Structures are given as structure tokens and as C-alpha cells.
Structure 1
Amino acid sequence: MGHSCFNLTIENGIAHLRFSRPDKFNSFTPEFWSELPEAVNKVSNNAEARVIVLSAEGKHFTAGMDISVFMDGALDAPPTNREVAAEAFRFNVKTLQDTFSALENARQPILAAIQGGAVGAGVDLVSACDCRYASSDAFFCIQETAIGMTADVGTFPRLAKIISEGWARQMAYTAERVSAQKAKEIGLVNEVYETPEELLENVMKIAARIASHSPLAITGCKKMITYARDHNTQDALDYIALWNAAMFRTDDIKESYIAKSEKREPVFDDLTPIKKPL
């Protein structure tokens, strides 16, 4: 299946989704909001890869929402009374939110390799990824404030759980650009690399290391970390105990030790594709 906003390749257990509209700074067109979750859900549900990397062509990772989303009426509700229009608008926004929730809900870890700007909805997107890495020219900006709106596609529920609340508030209130170096200092990105080329090379190395581990263990880690973020400690402890009671796989543990003793890479089963409901 072709995509209008990005290219997708899968090799050695790594799905590489690369934004491909550099002339438009990889802004998110109306088509993007359906294409991205379809692609991510397909990789996730069919267990086509063990890790997903997001990167971009050109100077900027993304300029955020494309102006066509506003100008072409993609967010407009049908002309009717105010309350009915507001309900329809809320539904449309929730559809956009689901696009980035697909990243958080994917069974595989998602790594974002960010060069240049991650602006507006770009912050919403990277906030939904598992790990973020940047080149030295990268910057982050909650641009929505500067154009007269409150960011609504996922930044606020996630960003304040990645960085301190104070920095989340400052970024939101000022719409200032946060440099790659400051982003690392406040915990928004894991690492900063000098050039976009060095960035992608190292993110692919991290992805390869993730792909070498047990997919069952990795998806368990992702699920547990997200669950613990959103629940209290006791609930999270109960859930990991229940998870391992059902999915603790001694064969993977044995294989990891045997492979080490035999000085080879371990071989693990991939996740099982999820069958569509009848």
C-alpha cells in the first residue's frame, strides 16, 4: 500500500517510517491522519517488525498541522446549532487524537529520530513515542499557543509525564523554541547527536539492539511502563504480577543463556499476528 506522506520499509525486524514531504516541511495533511495509524496498526497487529523508527527527510522533522486541515474544512462541523456543532468538532478532534494514540498503543517500541523542527502537532506525535532522539539542530515548539489555540491532539496528557510540569507549562504558555540541548537537559530527548546522519545511524543501532531481544519481553516492558505511568504503584505491581503469571516464558530465558554460552545471538519467536474479529 502506498502512502502520500511517508515511506515505510521493514528490514531485520525494524520498521522504518520516514516522512517524505520535505518541500512542505513534512506537515500533516488530512491524509496523514488516517495513513499513519493504518500503517502503525498494520505493523503492530501483524507483528511485521519488532521495533518502529520514525524519521523524516529534509530540514525539519515536521512543521505540524498542514494549513489545509484548517482551510479545507477537515475540522469543521456541519452547519447547525452551536451545541451540535461542538459535539461534532469534539468527535473530529478525538479522531486526530487516535492517530497518535496508535503509537502509544502499538505492541512494539517506537523511536523518534528528530532533526530540525518538531513543531505544533509534531510535539504531540513525539510525546506519544517511547523514546526520542535529536540532532543538534533540532528544536521543539508548542506552536498552537502562538496561533491562538490550545494544543489538543495529545501534548498535555503526555508531555507533563515526560518532563517536569514546570517546563511543560513554560513551553505551552510561551510557545518558545526549546533547543535539542535543552530538550535533553529536561528529559524530553534521550540523546543528542551532532548531525541528522549520525542521529539516524545511532537510532538504528538502538532499534537493532531492541529487535535482538525477546519480542514478548519487550512488549511486556512497554505495556508495564505505560500502565505504571497512568496508575498507582500497587495497581502497577498487581498488573505486572498478573501479566507474568500469564506470559512468563521460560523458553526465552533458557534460549538467552544457551545463546550466550554458545557465543551466538539468541533466537526468539516473534509476536503472533492478531486475527481480525469475525
Structure 2
Amino acid sequence: MSEGEYKSLKIEQVSPTSNVFNIILNLPKTLNALSPSFFHEFPAALYSLDHNPSAAVIILSAAGNHFCSGIDLHSLSNTILPSHVNSTDRGRSAERLRREIKHMQDGISAVEKCRKPVIAAVHGGCIGGGIDVITACDLRVCTKDAFFAVKEVDLGITADLGTLQRLPNIVGYANAMELALTGRRFSGSEAKDLGLVSKVFDTKEDLDLGVRAIAEGIAAKSPLAVIGTKSILLKSRDLTVDQGLDYVATWNSGVLISDDLKEAISAQREKRKPSFSKL
């Protein structure tokens, strides 16, 4: 999928010499609601940047006044639900609906399958499906006036795109339970206290500058070390400590022989910035 074919987002390189790229949610008229096209285009954009040697870190941000207002309920009701509601075969109807849900889940899980770190930069509202998206990201930062809500319970549905699976690992089980059951709105400062975001910036301009600085700092590090760190942390969620240690031992036995280690040691010895090859 070429860049011009995206309907719900756009890709921009921070600068011609930067290894940081932006994926920008680009449906401001709907407050960047997650449309059916998003679930095709978002994983395609991530795949494209994951296989782009010039891309080391990805920033996920949004156009307009809000990050994401959740699932586009109008599109959902027009394109997904009618075919299941009107079906006379309940078994086949349920199977098709399950397949649609799995497709949308895969669209968001693509963040974790992307080797490159993905940093969510949130301003304005981040509601429902927006929480699904940012909890799949590797780092999250926001503006002081950002606000969040796990809103699905107020729509009569159970959140099914990842929030209930990922949020407890980020903010703790009890906090996740309270946020998901109440559907209440909470602020950027509370999100920081909960651990959902790691930094809060005063303005959108500060956010843009701050998240770029974070991304550029990561992009300057060994790409093998960065993708290894992401992979090991994600894998270790599902492993015991002993299993995780065994996994990282196997990982490092394959990559420690790279030139990155030599370059990092030489740079420290020579008191200069290291220069690593692209992936």
C-alpha cells in the first residue's frame, strides 16, 4: 500500500536525515474515530515502516483537536452489524462476527508485531478504541489537557480489542478494573500517576518537541539492542522468570556477535557518539 492510498492516516518522516517516522491518525472530522479502513491501513503502515531500514522509531500521533474518539460506531453499524443481525443462521452469523472482531484485534496487535518501538503521543481525547491502540504501544506520553476513558461499558459492550488484556499490565489489575467498570473520564495527570503515560507536557507544541527528543534518543542507539529489548519485554509477559532468562540468553547468543557491541565499546573508549548500521 503506497502512502497516497491511506484514507485514515498518513506517514511522515520527521526530517530527511532522521530515523524517526510519524504515523498520524488523519480523520479529524470524526475526531479520528477508528474506521473500517483504519484496521486495514494501520497494520500496513506499521509493516511498511518495520521493513524500512531508514525507520528506527515510530511516533503515533493524531491530526485535529483529539487523538481518538474510539470506534466509528456509524461505520460499524452500517458495515459489520447488519450482516450478522439479519442472518437467519445464528451459528454462521456468530462466526462471521468473531472473524471481524479478530480482524480488528489483529489491526491493533500489529503494534506489538512491529519490531520498531512505537511511541503514542496523545493530545485531547483518547476514548474507547483509542485506549486499545495506546496500550499496545511501547511508550505513551500526553499533554496536560489530554483525557482518557475506557468507554465501552457505557455502550453496552465489553471492550474486545486489547484494553482489558493490556491495561492491567500497565496500571495494575485493580486500577484497570475500576476504569473499565466505571467508564469514567480521567486526566493526563492521573494517567501519569497510574503509569499509563510516562510524561505529561504542558502544550501540544511541547508534546511534539518532547516526543521527538525521546524518539531521536532511542533511534541513536543500537537497532539490534532496541528491537531486542522490545521483543524480550513483550515475550517475558507470558513467561516465568526462568523461561524469560532462557529466552534472552538464546536471543543474545545470536546478536551479541554483531558489530554494534564493538562500536558501542569503541565509542565509549574514544568519547564519541556511536554510529550503528541500519537494520
Question: 5+ unaligned residues in a row in structure 1: which ranges?
Answer: 272-278
1:50 aligns with 56
8 Å CA contact 2:36–2:76 kept in 1: the answer is no
Distance 2:260 2:213 in 1: 22
Paired residue for 2:98, among 66, 90, 94? 90
Among 69, 90, 94, which residue is 2:75 paired with?
69
Q: What is the aligned length?
A: 271
Aligned to 1:259: 267
Distance of 1:97 and 1:131 partners within structure 2:
19
Residue in structure 2 matched with residue 195 of structure 1 by the alignment: 203
Q: Give runs of aligned pairs for residues 32-181 of structure 1, distance below 5 A.
A: 32-77=38-83, 79-181=87-189
SS of the residue 2:79 aligns to: coil
8 Å contact 1:97–1:153 — kept in the other structure? yes
Is the Cα–Cα contact under 8 Å of residues 75 and 93 in structure 1 kept in the other structure? no
CA RMSD of aligned residues (A): 1.4
Q: What's the CA shift for 1:263? A: 4.2
Aligned residues: percent identity? 38
Which has the larger displacement, 195-204 or 42-51? 42-51
Amino acid at match of 2:51: N
CA contact (8 A) 1:214 1:268 kept: yes
Q: Please list the CA deviations of residues 104-131 of structure 1 after superposition, one character each: whole Å capped at 9, or x if unmatched.
A: 1110010000001110100000000000
Greater shift, 214-223 or 228-237, is seen at: 228-237
> 1:214-269 CA deviation, whole Å, 9 max, x = no partner?
10110000000011112111110000001011111352122123223444321112
2:36 aligns to what SS in structure 1? coil
- Tell me if the contact between 1:64 and 1:120 (Cα under 8 Å) persists in the aligned partners: yes
In structure 2, relative to structure 1, the CA distance for the partners of 1:250 and 1:4 (3 Å cut) is closer
Amino acid at match of 1:120: G
1:275 is matched with none
Amino acid of the structure 2 residue aligned with 1:249: I
Q: Is 2:32 the counterpart of 1:26?
A: yes
Distance change >3 Å, CA 54–CA 216, structure 1 → 2: same
Residue type matched to 1:44 in 2? D
Are residue 8 (structure 1) and residue 11 (structure 2) matched? yes
Distance in 2 of aligned mates of 1:49 and 1:142: 31
Q: For 2:249, what is the secondary structure of its paired residue? A: helix
**Gap regions ≥5 residues in structure 2:** none
Bigger mean CA deviation after superposition, 17-26 or 162-171: 17-26
* 8 Å CA contact retained: 1:119, 1:143: yes
CA distance in 2, matches of 1:234, 1:194: 42
| 1:205 aligned partner | 213
Q: Note if contact 1:76-1:89 (Cα within 8 Å) is conserved in structure 2.
A: no
Confirm or deny: 8 A CA contact 1:112 1:129 kept in the other structure.
yes
Change (3 A) 1:210 1:76: farther
Shift of 1:77: 4.2
TM-score, normalised via structure 2 length: 0.93
- Cα distance in 1 for partners of 2:81, 2:274 equals 49
Task: Give the letter for the 1:29 counterpart.
Answer: S
